[in-house]
Structure 1
Amino acid sequence: MFPPLAYLQWIEGRPAAAEHDLGTSDLRRLPAGDPDDLVPPRLRGLSQPGAGRSLREHVADEYDVHEANVLLTAGATHGGFLACATAAALARERHDDAPVDDGGTAAAEAAEGGPQPCALVEAPGYEPLVETPRGIGSRVARVRRPGPEYGLDAERVAAAAPDLAGPLAHVTVTNRHNPTGAVVDRATLAATAEVAADHGGYLLVDEVYAPYTSGTGGDDAAGDAFGGPTGAGLAATVTLGSLTKFHGLGGLRVGWITGPEAFIERARLVEHHVPALAAPSVALARRVFGHRDDLVADARDHCRRNHQLLVGFLADRDDLAGSVEPGSPFAYLEHERVDGDAVSEAAWDAGVLVVPGRFFGMSDGVRVSLGRAPDDCEAALDAFGRVLDGL
């Protein structure tokens, strides 16, 4: 049921082995430190908050939703699994409860366990967002985000939804879009969620890159979380977030989903089938929120500096096409003469890690991600430039 994920197989071990890492997208500013130390370097020396608000309360406050709209997860991947499985279960239950007179089709489907729910997933996009719903038994169809802007188009979703082979479970998008970095505003998310709801499903928004902003709008803008856009609180909308990318704390495996209360209640029942979030990670995540403003400001400065490095690099390269979205430290870039695999292979031979676009359905280019410390990223871009000069 669960096929190997080609991207995760390919990337495993490469960031550690690369001399220059332009593949890692989470903001890892500090070295990993002692692997036996339970406290990540970024949180070391910071005081633990007293017995006050729970982690769930902190997340709810960040997204301006009620606690009942939040489920803590063991990272965003775990959250995505729970969200897809919950949406599929609700789609099946909705179909089972609907009176249907179709000459026996409904009875036949019921005998086989019901109709297959359908997931409508953005293209191009991140491979696990396609394969996870397939793994839990949903049919997957794709809806394109048209280039060169790669914006989300609610009308395209509306046109694709009626052609699905079963009940719609969810429409899945990323914001920022992975791999291009394009941002979708809250109004567009709301319009897309309305389309999903009209067909009985939910809009699922993976927001792990949403906080990657310059912060010029401030953290208190309506619909923002950690300074970035969010769909949290919109009708028929489920969001995924974590401490892995913007906060650089992947080792904690702390994430969350937000959504309508009924969806979260059903997700808690699904969660009984899989491992849950560990208590030590919850305690350390509370420390993040206890020092939230300072940690966010540091991450935003890291993101801003790396964004500027990437913008400057692209501006100096006549052989690369693409754009760096405002505030983004990663981008999808195409070389004028060779495809993404050729660029990635040549870079790897020179000790530079960049990700082939084929893992996102964009084989002509590569995703270049500046997650490491700015000085390290500057050196990595210099090395990558020498690779490109030799193509």
Structure 2
Amino acid sequence: MFPTIAYLDWITGRPEAAAYDLGSSDLRGTGGDRRDPIPGRLSGLAEPPDSVTLAEQIATEYDVEPRNVLVTAGASMANVIAIATALDGPSGATEPGDGQPTVLVEKPGYEPLLATPRAFGGQIHRFVRPADDDYRLDPDRVGGALTGEVRLAVVTNRHNPSGRLSARETLDATADRVGAAGGRLLVDEVYAPFTLDPTARGLGGPTAAGLDDVVVTGSLTKFFGFGGLRVGWLVADEAFVERAEHVAHHFPALAQPSVSLARRAFHHEERLLADQRELAATNHDLLASFVDERDDIAGTVHDGATYAFLEPTAADGDTVAEAAWAEDILVVPGRFFDEPDRVRVSLGRSPEHCEEALSALGTVLDGLR
């Protein structure tokens, strides 16, 4: 019932084993937060008032009500619950005789967002975000791919793996197409906070939260760099959240220590985000300069993004990733994102680490010329 997720099998253990990590996409900086019971950046910070719940803090970020928020054990679990809820149907149970529900998923895309709906009985269809259009999300292209009993369409924003950011108006138009076909749009927004705008709120760039027929998922993992807490959420209309709460009973709940630390993080978000935005700006510039200065790797490093989906000219993605791994450098082969000619390069560690890692990757690319 549950298909193997090749990317997760492949990546497990590699960031810790690599001398140079250009595979991890969360802004963990020095990386110590994953090992300590209390992340160093949260140590010693005051707690928020006891009356403030984590759901209320998240709701404030999205300008919705707490009843529109379900807190989960990470964004991956939020996606599982959102997909299971959508495929279960509005009544909470699929009626006998119903056809296999269709799930439309972007291509290139993140493999778990294909595997999870397939595990829950979804029939997977794809729509393309073409490389020659710089991976733009096109509502008309989505609409043209909607066939069968569409229950759900799935996109990421920022797009994973390219880093392309879609405007709220684009997400709204996409949701209109999906809603008109009887489905719902799931927008995984774990990378949406990657913005260098100093006035942006903690959850960052344009969000689809509050739009009709949309469920949004997010977490503290990527931009905040608090992956060890495993804190995520989904945001949707009240009826969907109520159904999702029943589905969530079948899955592990979020541990209370993580809830407490997440409340602390949101309480001090302005202080925390200043450092994260500085790290993101520096790492973005490092990656953009690396791509600009080389003639053997092509692709766009989108504004504010610290990762990109790049095409080496001397070899395919697997060859580059294998050659890099032989030199203790981690980059992710594009085959895990539907495009084997490419690699995803992510700068989530300290600028010093990333600068050394890019230099080492450059040496590998030189050797493949």
TM-score (norm 1): 0.91
CA distance in 2, matches of 1:306, 1:45: 27
CA distance in 2: counterparts of 1:70 and 1:34, whole angstroms:
26
Q: Classify the secondary structure of the residue corresponding to 1:41.
A: coil
Partner residue, 2:108? 124
Stretches of structure 2 lacking an aligned partner (at least 5 in a row): none
Structure 1 distance, partners of 2:72, 2:225, is: 17
Identify the match of residue 156 of structure 1 among 141, 152, 159.
141
Find 1:177's aligned residue among 159, 163, 166.
159
CA contact (8 A) 1:91 1:168 kept: no
After TM superposition, list the pairs within 5 Å mapping 1:69-108 onto structure 2. 69-90=68-89, 96=95
The answer to whether 1:202 aligns with 2:184 is yes
Q: CA deviation at 1:93?
A: 5.7
1:27–1:235 CA distance, 2 compared to 1 (3 A) = same
- Alignment: residue pair count: 367
Percent identity (aligned):
53
Structure 1 residues without counterparts, runs of 5 or longer: 97-109
* Correspondence for 1:245: 222
Query: How many Å apart are 1:236 and its aligned residue?
Result: 0.7
Q: 1:106 corresponds to which residue?
A: none
d(CA) in 2 for partners of 1:90, 1:34: 37
How much does 1:90 deviate? 1.6
Q: Name the counterpart of 1:107.
A: none
> Within 1, Cα distance between the matches of 2:91 and 2:358?
49
Give the letter for the 1:231 counterpart: A
Q: Distance in 1 between matches of 2:288 and 2:212?
A: 36
TM-score by length of 2: 0.96
Equivalent residue, structure 2, for 1:14: 14
Distance 1:91 1:359 in 2: 32
Query: Which residue of the partner structure matches residue 219 of structure 1?
Result: 200
Cα RMSD after superposing both structures: 1.5
> 2:251: which partner in 1?
274
Question: 1:87 is paired with a residue of what secondary structure?
Answer: helix
Structure 1 residue 136 corresponds to structure 2 residue 113 = no
Distance 2:327 2:364 in 1: 7
Runs of 4+ in 1 over 2 A off after TM superposition: 30-35, 91-96
Alpha-carbon distance in 2 for matches of 1:70, 1:286: 15
The residue number in structure 2 matching 1:46 is: 45
Which of residues 363, 368, 373 is equivalent to 2:350? 373
Tell me if structure 1 keeps the 8 A contact 2:31–2:349: no
Q: Equivalent of 1:302, from 268, 276, 279? A: 279
8 A contact 2:62–2:209 mirrored in 1: yes
Give the distance between the partners of 1:389 and 1:38, measured in 2 at CA. Answer: 42
CA drift of 1:92 comes to 7.1
Preserved contact between residue 120 and residue 172 of structure 1 (Cα < 8 Å): yes
Q: What do the CA deviations read for 1:294-330 (whole angstroms, capped 9, x no partner)? A: 1111111111110000011111101111110111110
Give the match for residue 4 of structure 2.
4
Which of the two has higher C-alpha Rg?
Answer: 1
> What is the letter of the counterpart of residue 151 of structure 1?
R
3-state secondary structure, aligned to 1:235: coil
* Matching of residues 45-64 of structure 1 within 5 Å: 45-64=44-63
Rounded Cα–Cα distance in structure 2 between residues aligned with 1:87 and 1:356: 31
